[in-house]
Amino acid sequence: MISDWIEKEALPGRRISGMRELTGGYSNHNVMVTMDDGSAYVLRRYLRADKSAIEAALARRLAGVVPVPEVIAVGFAGEPVLLSRFVPGRMLSEVLISADPGTAGELGSVVGRALAGLGTVSFGAPGFFSDGSLTPGPPGVEPASGLDAWVDHCLAEGDVDGHLTGSERRALREYAARATPALTALHGSRQLVHSDFNPKNLLVVRAAGRWRVSAVLDWEFAFSGPRLTDVGNMMRDPRPPGFAEAFLAGFEEAGGDLPPGWRSLSQALDLYALADFLTRPPEHRYFARSVARIRRLLA
């Protein structure tokens, strides 16, 4: 059914010559599709919530602002799907594994500048996108509020016994309680937030002796809110020497704002995601990582 949709609706008149699964895409399934004329595309199958209309609308909104894959078609082939043009490049996560300080610094700078570009896109209010209109909502919902209640919820729903001690859970609740009023300084922020801005969602290429970001991928969690959310996500894990400093410098040089207390604010914003990972099964790829990050945060 998917092949029929591609050949009859998305790319009529052309035939598929090959398909192969792509790495990444932990929440969805991505497949590279090669056509008989040599052109290449990426088919995105939504395994959970259908965010195809939102991702397509964001791709149109971001054209010429930050590099994103061009969306060719959105449809239903027994399941919601999105077809976009294939963008050459290597995952930043792969490049950083063997990057020397000079390379890591150059990459950090271009990534910081790309993130600053997102901040030039704003909306009428804070909130979450529910459809392709990109209207944030529900009205009055503040993405940077209720961290303490969210952490309580995730600890209650998650299977954390044997993974976080009682004292660690108390310390986490106390941290969230202290951070919640501090986050009110960011209420009303309404810039575009990727919400999963990290090396596994960035493609980079080297051309004419310089690195550049060729695509920012996977916009399914995007919302309107404080841009420090993406800073916190990128700074969550240790990076090669030279990357973090250059990332922050590139972000600021390109117009990104790091207000007083930005580090603690960005860490608090990142806790929304870390706490959510605690609700996954303990064998989930991100559960143990979240526990380790939370311990480091509390330390």
pLDDT tens for residues 199-227?
999 999 999 999 999 999 999 999 999 99
Asked whether the beta carbons of 72 and 83 are under 8 A apart, the reply is yes
- CA–CA distance, 61 with 144 (Å, rounded to integer): 24
Compute the distance between CA of residue 190 and CA of residue 298 in angstroms, rounded to an integer.
Answer: 29
Lowest mean pLDDT among 1-5, 81-85, 171-175: 1-5
Tell me how far apart the alpha carbons of residues 118 and 99 are, in angstroms, rounded to a whole number: 25
Backbone torsions φ then ψ of 75, nearest 5 degrees: -165, -165
- Could you read off the pLDDT of 255-270 as tens digits, one per residue? 999 999 999 999 999 9
Report the distance separating Cα 128 and Cα 136, nearest Å. Answer: 5
Res. 231: pLDDT tops 60: yes
What is the pLDDT averaged over residues 164-190? 98
19 vs 32: CA distance, rounded Å: 6
Residue 24 has pLDDT above 70, yes or no: no
Q: What is the average pLDDT score of the chain?
A: 96
CB 56 within 8 A of CB 71: yes
Question: Can you give the pTM of this predicted structure?
Answer: 0.95
Q: How far apart are CA 253 and CA 260, in angstroms?
A: 17
Predicted pLDDT of residue 48? 85
Whole-number pLDDT of residue 140: 87
| Phi, psi values for residue 48, rounded to 5° | -120, -120
Q: What's residue 275's pLDDT?
A: 98
Q: What is the DSSP string of 151-210?
A: HHHHHHHS--TTTS-HHHHHHHHHHHHHHHHHGGGGTT--EEE-S--SGGGEEEEEETTE
| Secondary structure, 3-state, 44-92 | EECCCCCCHHHHHHHHHHHCCCCCCCCEEEEEECCCEEEEEECCCCEEH
Looking at the predicted structure, is the pLDDT value of residue 92 above 90? yes
Write out pLDDT tens, residues 25-84: 567 899 999 999 999 999 999 988 999 999 999 999 999 999 999 999 999 988 999 999
Work out the average pLDDT over 233-248.
Answer: 97
Q: What's residue 25's pLDDT?
A: 56
Residue with tokens 């060729």: 214
